[in-house]
Structure 1
């Protein structure tokens, strides 16, 4: 995009006036050189030509201070690349040459060259910036990452449609850096004419590609849910103000965690690698109650990446903390539960912890007047740590691999806290930001965890990949690094193992230039299945009806073919139409004698399959017509309760009849009535001989003829008489006695 001469002149005059009013003229010669550069290159992006030089960059070559634009890139992409050059201390020619020489030919195709070159430059710059401890607090870093996303959506000069010529003033209250330390692009209203618009937004593809480059900001597994949470009120387009607020909240959460960690090491006696993830119960109006038996006591609850700690509140001080381990295999169970005073189960605001290390379950109650958001939050983050350790044990991960899994869980909790505190966001269903919890709910979530574990088998560890099994061929797998461990170390969470990893490891991020991470593929496949499952569940929710009578009517209509077939068979067996019944009897006997009965069930399946393929061919994905059902007359609440009571009574009667049959069988087995037991025993011997020596088809033939001809005119009376005798004999069988013994009352808990 070309800049109009009039706008350029106004821009130059404005900058000259600002220069005259400046108290210091140390940079005058530099600005003068920049004006000449503007006039020479006004056809290209002006963003790539202006950067305020920091004192430590004074000795850098002019090609770094004023990098020339790359013809293939759009103005916004050139702006991003120029800032990357300033960060890396290299010129655009050097970066472009490194891109052409270091990466394979497949990455440098014509259609993707601009985007891959942008990724190459920005990834290098971001990796360098994230090696410092306060990069989340740097407004220039936050703006750079957002601009990379904008440039990623329009990297080529032919596709750029995002650049405007005027930009609102970058507000001073959005930055934590003084104006002298900030970039020239965002220091005053006299910014360059071509600049990233502060009102521009980012889509999901760009965010999911760039944000996970810095693993502290986003994780590949949960980046889609993070984007949904940040754009829930903006039509799935991310605004910089929302993104900036999220990063500032994330920085605040991490700094608070480091402060709490420093003050809690002595009280909780934490191990070297333990990190405090959150603390609750410190505010008197929001206590945490620990219930054991009927006793309850307020206190402070702390979650680390290895355990839960509860400190009971004594007389103005906290007592010694009780540790509930999450790291070792002790069959831990964490789930929501009910609590109340004196053991009463009244309030659904507690988390239950149970393991082999505690004599009875422990309940942590989070009292609040509205909903149970505090309980749900603590349930989520506690389960995340527990499931991370379960994954470590399941795949046998050790040392650096284990540290990487736990570091990913820690960062997930930090992101969840940041989003909750900044936007009052709480996870539900598939919207969780915790990777290991999400894997438990997503379809193919186990495949996501398997892919993550496989990637860690090729982990670049300390002392020459000592964590890699000998059976793994590292040449066929891309090398990865413990990015999460290094990220926590750079943020200030330091331990001896983290120091060794940091010093010996070259960071290789999850996102690489021009490549798709296998973890991304697994997550996308899972999300596709999730979309199908949610669409199917929506249809299920639509067809649900209320009322017992209505549901029975719907079931009858759905089972109409089966019910109609059974009615026709019953009509034939009633012998009302003699010739039809005789023909069916002869046909059935012929099929049984010929041995075709074994093909009956397969034939039914084949027939159903043919019907399904017939509809598949002629329907061609068309919409299905609604299934019409005539509902029964409406009933009021009292009538529905009476119907429900009647159904429960009938169900109870069926259970009683079944119990009576079982008790009479028990009486026969134990020979309470000797004569009846002898007859049953002889009958069983006869059945055994028949089954042993008579071919099955003849047995089936006899049973078919017996059952089908009971209603024949010549057999009707004798069949009724025989059934009556059997019923009378069954009534004479006594039922085995039953004694109901009440359990002894348990002793009251102390």
Structure 2
């Protein structure tokens, strides 16, 4: 049985006839048609159709189903309007009502986009107050041809609409607290992974039915109940690439440098796929952290006398069970520690009140050092729970102790955020950043600490990803971190400086690069951190982000190169950790096996120099002397290098990626703990003896230099003059020849007795030389006490 091509014509005639019936008859006729279509589809599936005709049948059925969906939508809309006319009183028509009806209509879908992408674009169009066709026209007219290729058209169009909508939303005050905003950004990431209608295998489930009626409230981010308003299933997850393309556009959510680390932290327990519940929880806690910071700043402005640009990042020591102790010398007292984007403040606790705060300025260039350290009562170094601060402004180091029963998480947290602010100011001084650029750098550091706090408070599990959420700390520890900072400084040169409250659009500088706005500063301003200095920059200013549609940010490229080197280093370090062995005997055995070729060569040379085999020793002596005289000795070391290189290339060519065989080492006999301690003590004693012998040699040379024994000093002086004349006038090859012959023939039977006599006389002479005196002075333990 073959498919009848006239089926579509007959079905269209039947559809036109159905529209003339009343709603109940329309339903009955539609059900009959649907049943007939189902029978036809089953008969087509049973029939044995050739492959080419089967494709045509499937396309015809697909188009028929689309038309059937449209027919059903018209039937249900007519039925809904008839029922609504029965139960609701009709209202007189007016221009306002007509415009309201027009605005309630859902935006038209874009054919190139998938359903979820059309849903996102429709919501973006409502936020921007534009139709989807106008957005597509702006995309086609404003962006270059490079981002409008056929294969990437849908994804770049989605990025264009999403970026414009996020820039507008970010000007609101409390947008992070809106669950619909969080859902929209997550849907943007889902749509980015499947933007085109050809790349989406399955159609997402539609939204749940909303209550019909005039009382329905239109959401800012979601369109009305239409085919394009898609509710994404909670089981859908987001990958790292889509997260890194969408999240950094909204500056509080993520930063270009640390976005990959943030994704790893959020997905460390979910197979590196981001769930909406985790994403939603992170944004809720981020909003909570930002509000807590604003509340703390309002409370601390009077006590700490903060400047207009300072932002309180965190406060600790307010809970009696979690105090902060400041140690100076042997004195210690509790208090409250506050960190801002410019300084550390410590308020010691007096009799029920806090005393005047002590300021530790992190912005000044005073050779400041912040590092972890040990502390304890009365200056005892017992507990690893303190942060040490040292600079030229303080007489002696100051220690901030964070007592806790578990590990040292509080100390590590305060160490990280304090170093972030300190390194941000060092970055500002290194690249001579001023005004807007300086504010932008500090704003990025502030948002990094906010994200750090949000992840730390939302997901209370031990994670090594926390510290990697701070931009300047990460650049300090990563390989090629200096290139990341240099790239960041280059991107800051394109910031638009604003004078007065005027709309500032992107301009083109001398290097043909678009100028951008200080988006981090503006984000802080819109979130409620308002200062007089940035008011002129942020008010009535167009947001021009440095993240472009279809382009990879230079910072992201620098970070990716750095992460590649980091991955190689971590893989190499994993192999190092695997081959580490414990015990002195075991490590000595491994070293002997690794140095076996060198030890074997040295033993053979020693055997030749002992003249036990007279003929072999003579042949080796003559060959070596001939090579020295002809000047071939200078090619020995290059020849060794070339020989080793040839062996390495040979092994690389024939190994062909095969795994390296394990190095076999015979394990020494096992020893108990006492025997190992005795072995360690013996090794330490031998090492101490070697150090003592070296010190004695240096002291005797000092005695000869200072002429403590005049006769010996005269002999050494004459010997040095003779050697200077020899090195000045004798060719080097003859000097090498004499030294080699003298050393090699010491054990020769003909001169063994005379060489032993000379060595004995030199040793006796060396023994008679006294050592220069040494006086040990105890250090002065008297320190300034407070």
Same fold (TM > 0.5):
yes
TM-superposed deviation, 1:194:
5.0
1:114 to 124, 147, 154: 154
Partner deviation per Cα, 1:489-529 (whole Å, 9 max, x = no partner): 11011112211111364222232111111111001111111
1:151 lines up with 2:191 in the alignment: yes
Aligned twin of 1:556: 592
Q: Which moved more, 1:353-362 or 1:386-395?
A: 353-362
TM-superposed deviation, 1:82:
0.5
Aligned twin of 2:7: none
1:734 to 759, 770, 784: 770
1:98 to 138, 161, 164: 138
Aligned twin of 2:758: 722
Q: Which moved more, 1:593-602 or 1:298-307?
A: 593-602
Structure 1 57/686 Cα, relative in aligned 2: closer, same or farther at 3 Å? Answer: farther
1:543 to 571, 575, 579: 579
Structure 1 495/316 Cα, relative in aligned 2: closer, same or farther at 3 Å? Answer: same
Query: Unmatched 5+ residue regions in structure 1?
Result: 31-55, 171-177, 465-471
Aligned twin of 1:70: 110
Structure 1 26/106 Cα, relative in aligned 2: closer, same or farther at 3 Å? Answer: farther
Q: How many Å separate the matches in 1 of 2:308 and 2:209?
A: 46
Q: How many Å separate the matches in 1 of 2:384 and 2:484?
A: 32
Task: Indicate the SS of the match to 2:569.
Answer: helix
Query: Unmatched 5+ residue regions in structure 2?
Result: 1-61, 501-507
Q: How many Å separate the matches in 1 of 2:205 and 2:701?
A: 92
Aligned twin of 1:160: 200
Task: Indicate the SS of the match to 1:308.
Answer: strand
Task: Indicate the SS of the match to 1:462.
Answer: coil
Q: Is the CA contact (8 Å cut-off) linking 2:109 and 2:132 kept in structure 1?
A: yes
TM-superposed deviation, 1:14:
12
Q: Is the CA contact (8 Å cut-off) linking 1:185 and 1:191 kept in structure 2?
A: no
TM-superposed deviation, 1:214:
0.4
Q: How many Å separate the matches in 2 of 1:499 and 1:60?
A: 37
Structure 1 59/329 Cα, relative in aligned 2: closer, same or farther at 3 Å? Answer: farther
Q: How many Å separate the matches in 2 of 1:661 and 1:703?
A: 23
Q: How many Å separate the matches in 2 of 1:230 and 1:638?
A: 48
Partner deviation per Cα, 1:103-153 (whole Å, 9 max, x = no partner): 000000000000000011111111100111111011111110000000000
Partner deviation per Cα, 1:249-284 (whole Å, 9 max, x = no partner): 101111111111112111110011000011111111
Q: How many Å separate the matches in 1 of 2:730 and 2:91?
A: 112
TM-superposed deviation, 1:9:
6.6
Aligned twin of 1:384: 420
Structure 1 582/427 Cα, relative in aligned 2: closer, same or farther at 3 Å? Answer: same
Q: Is the CA contact (8 Å cut-off) linking 2:746 and 2:755 kept in structure 1?
A: yes
1:702 lines up with 2:742 in the alignment: no
**RMSD (Å), alpha carbons:** 3.1
Aligned twin of 1:566: 602
Q: How does 1:460-609 map to 2 (within 5 A)?
A: 460-463=496-499, 474-503=510-539, 505-609=541-645
Task: Indicate the SS of the match to 1:348.
Answer: strand
Structure 1 505/427 Cα, relative in aligned 2: closer, same or farther at 3 Å? Answer: farther
2:727 to 669, 691, 699: 691
Q: Which moved more, 1:8-17 or 1:419-428?
A: 8-17
1:305 to 326, 333, 341: 341
Structure 1 504/129 Cα, relative in aligned 2: closer, same or farther at 3 Å? Answer: closer
Q: Is the CA contact (8 Å cut-off) linking 2:119 and 2:228 kept in structure 1?
A: no
Q: Is the CA contact (8 Å cut-off) linking 1:84 and 1:122 kept in structure 2?
A: yes
Partner deviation per Cα, 1:43-84 (whole Å, 9 max, x = no partner): xxxxxxxxxxxxx99957837842100000000000000001
Q: Is the CA contact (8 Å cut-off) linking 1:64 and 1:89 kept in structure 2?
A: no
Structure 1 6/97 Cα, relative in aligned 2: closer, same or farther at 3 Å? Answer: closer
Q: Is the CA contact (8 Å cut-off) linking 1:60 and 1:89 kept in structure 2?
A: no
Task: Indicate the SS of the match to 1:474.
Answer: coil
Q: How many Å separate the matches in 1 of 2:275 and 2:347?
A: 42
Matched residues, number: 710
Partner deviation per Cα, 1:355-401 (whole Å, 9 max, x = no partner): 11111111111111101100100000000000000000001111100
Structure 1 430/195 Cα, relative in aligned 2: closer, same or farther at 3 Å? Answer: closer
Q: How many Å separate the matches in 1 of 2:90 and 2:169?
A: 26
Structure 1 180/349 Cα, relative in aligned 2: closer, same or farther at 3 Å? Answer: farther
Q: How many Å separate the matches in 1 of 2:775 and 2:511?
A: 72
- Which has more radius of gyration? 2
Aligned twin of 2:699: 663
Structure 1 568/184 Cα, relative in aligned 2: closer, same or farther at 3 Å? Answer: closer
Structure 1 240/566 Cα, relative in aligned 2: closer, same or farther at 3 Å? Answer: same
Aligned twin of 2:682: 646
Aligned twin of 1:125: 165
